[in-house]
Amino acid sequence: MVARLPGYPAAAATWQLGNMILGIETSCDETSVALLEHDGSVRVNLIASQVERHRPFGGVVPEIASREHLQHLFPLVSRALADAGATWSDIDRIAVTAGPGLIGALLVGVAGAQGLSYALGVPLVAVNHLEGHLFSPWLQREGAAIPLPPRFLSMVISGGHSQIYDVENGRVTMLNRTRDDAIGETFDKVAKFIGLPYPGGPQIEKNAGGGTIDRRRFPLSVPQFKDDSLDFSYSGIKAGAIRIAREHGIRAGGDPKLLADFCATFQEALFAQLFDRLDAIWSGLRRPLPTEAAIAGGVAANGTLREKMLAWGRDRGVIVRLPENRYCTDNAAMIAFAALQPSNAITDPRRVTARSRIA
């Protein structure tokens, strides 16, 4: 017989030890732990990045990621408490990323969160990593989170995902997704091909800036589907960019003008597709229209894209929310914040499972 958990399930809803939620994120290559107050104020958001460990391999090595999470998770939890001047009894809820992501990496966070939930007797909330990203633009650097409007769009663009969500009164609906590669993955793979270090997105951005750049030097167009689907597709741009790079001998450290024009053209093509789909989705939305729109995920850190998104909002009279840079790439603050949304229920910790894919 399974022993009854302290506080489960009857007392879970009323369990009120402290006033902080502990967030844990280990879905990919960043171990992150955060402490948030219930109004979304971020007290601490610590991130142990593994980028340097994976860089020699040009991408994330799942086995290394899991081992790094194991090593860093609990020391980070202790440091988060110390930095916040808090104790275990200040935690009244735990939020953990349950998927999607690398299964071994997720299991470290989920098992750690389950253990803490048992030991502290506080409820656990299993969070979809993508929901973490999609609410992140409303988190502030300091103070309470910006109140969420009744209806908004959020475009999650990261290393593993590219999808647009419509969130109405807490109900999350995915409007499109990528049929093949994610936008960040496309940045990373093309950057790797031309010899730029991992992760490729910021490297492409850096090389696409400054001087007199020709953003249309190479032919890279926005793909359209025969069935008029508004899904994203990045495999064609990836193949096209690699072919162009090969034909023109474009390499990191090579002809700087050629490299800059290539990076700018490639980046422009990736973003053109985002706005092509966003426009089409926007024009087909049921009224009343969303009052706010956001970009989120690692690619949302891109300065050119942020400018374009602000301009997009200005043209339509829509408030644009851009995530703070610290909340763009994977972080536990966004996971804890998502756990505070009504779409996420407290779960019996025994039933929380890590899932590499979530439909």
Q: Which residues bind ligand KG4 (CB under 6 A)?
A: 28, 158-160, 184-185, 187-188, 199-202, 205, 297-299, 301-302, 329-330
Angle, in degrees to the nearest 10, between helices 200-207 and 183-193: 70
CB of 61 to ligand KG4, least distance (A): 15
Stretch that binds Zn ion, among 37-45, 90-98, 152-160, 165-173 (CB under 5 A): 152-160
| Nearest CB to ligand KG4, comparing residues 244 and 263 | 263
| Nearest CB to ligand KG4, comparing residues 31 and 158 | 158
| Residue 265, contacted partner among Zn ion, ligand KG4, none, CB below 5-8 A by kind | none
158 binds Zn ion (CB under 5 A): yes
Number of H helices, E strands in the chain: 10, 10
| Nearest CB to Zn ion, comparing residues 328 and 346 | 328
| Residue 23, contacted partner among ligand KG4, Zn ion, none, CB below 5-8 A by kind | none
CB of 87 to ligand KG4, least distance (A): 31
| Nearest CB to Zn ion, comparing residues 131 and 268 | 131
Q: Could you tell me which of 165, 97, 155, 170 has the C-alpha nearest to residue 298? A: 155
Beta bridge partners of 178: 232
Among 30, 37, 324, 330, binds Zn ion (CB under 5 A): 330
CB of 186 to ligand KG4, least distance (A): 8
CB of 47 to Zn ion, least distance (A): 12
Burial group, residue 201, by CB count within 10 angstroms (0-12, 13-18, 19+): buried
- The number of beta carbons lying within 10 Å of the beta carbon of residue 255 is 13
- The number of beta carbons lying within 10 Å of the beta carbon of residue 89 is 11
- Tell how strand 30-37 and strand 42-49 pair up: antiparallel
Please list, in sequence order, all residues whose beta carbon lies within 8 angstroms of the beta carbon of residue 145, skipping any fewer than 6 positions away: 39, 40, 41, 138, 139, 337
Interacting residue ranges for Zn ion, rule: CB under 5 A: 158, 330
